[in-house]
A = this chain, B = another copy of it.
Amino acid sequence: MPDSDPLKNIRIVLCETSHPGNIGAAARAMKTMGLAKLHLVKPERFPDAEADWLAARATDVLKRAHVHDTLDAALHGVAFAVACTARTREIAVPQLNAREAAARVVEVARAQTAALVFGNETYGLTTDEVNKCRVLATIPANPRYSALNLAAAVQIFAYELRIAARGDEVHTFEPELAAHQDIEAFYLHLETLMAEVGFLNPRHPKKLMPRLRRLFARARLQPEEVNLLRGIFKALSRPRKQ
């Protein structure tokens, strides 16, 4: 029975990984984005101390990882498998970018199990492995150097999956803004002070106030900031002995 959280229904499948450190780093990348299901097809060394080391506090993902002899076994029960690569390929599988693929995977994973399949560090996915997947997904990369580290590729896909499942989630902090009349009083205060010290000529004000208005409008002043600025201007312009 699939979980109601689509991220819980997504497997990361690593095929024939050579370096256990990459398995650990991939586990860490997964956990940072809320993925937990790791499946390994014929890893060269696993479990391994180096994998644990690079997993940092994601060793729980490693502990619950499944090891398989074949990709077919790793994809058992999977409704939608995506072959993930940084290279573009001459294969007649439908090709998507990572973002589009993540959206499709999350859609499927709301009701069924989906999988992202990654190849060996050196030679990538074999044609056979790609052909066992429904689509091929590519990370847009520098055409002259597209060799993402395995865990880095897992990180990008996991990140796109999280955004597809949860939205952008970072809530922009929106503080209280100062009221119109207080901003206007601030401008008037500033204008008066500048006239007093001769910085502004009331007969030829030029574009001084409009420029300051634009500047402070962009700052989207908060109430206590208006008070702070008024306090500073007042303190600065207080007559002092020469």
Give me the interface of A with B, judged by CB distance under 8 Å.
Answer: 25, 28-29, 31-34, 56-58, 86, 88, 92, 94-97, 99-100, 138-142, 145-149, 151-152, 155-156, 159, 162-163, 166, 168-173, 175, 190, 193-194, 197-199, 208, 211-212, 215-216, 218-221, 225, 228-229, 231-233, 235-242
Return the chain B residue nearest A99 by Cβ. B168
Which residues of B lie under 8 Å from residue A216 when comparing CB positions? 219
Return the chain B residue nearest A190 by Cβ. B232
Return the chain B residue nearest A233 by Cβ. B236
Which residues of B lie under 8 Å from residue A29 when comparing CB positions? 148-149, 152
Given A32-B142, A147-B56, A151-B152, A237-B236 contact (CB < 8 Å): yes
Q: Count copies of this chain in the complex.
A: 2
Return the chain B residue nearest A154 by Cβ. B152
CA–CA, A149 to B26, complex, Å?
10
Indicate which residue in B148, B163, B219 contacts A140 across the interface (CB closer than 8 Å).
Answer: B163
- Known A57-B147, A140-B169; 16 more pairs at CB < 8 Å: A29-B152, A31-B145, A34-B142, A92-B173, A92-B175, A94-B172, A95-B171, A97-B168, A140-B166, A140-B168, A140-B170, A152-B155, A215-B228, A240-B240, A240-B242, A241-B242
CA–CA, A96 to B174, complex, Å?
11
Given A142-B32, A155-B152, A237-B236, A215-B225 contact (CB < 8 Å): yes
Given A95-B172, A147-B57, A197-B238, A33-B166 contact (CB < 8 Å): no
Indicate which residue in B25, B96, B199 contacts A170 across the interface (CB closer than 8 Å).
Answer: B96
Distance between A105 CB and nearest chain B CB, rounded to angstroms: 16
Distance between A96 CB and nearest chain B CB, rounded to angstroms: 7
Return the chain B residue nearest A155 by Cβ. B152
* 12 A-B pairs whose Cβ atoms sit less than 8 Å apart in the complex: A25-B149, A28-B147, A33-B142, A34-B142, A56-B149, A94-B172, A138-B170, A140-B168, A156-B159, A197-B235, A218-B220, A233-B236
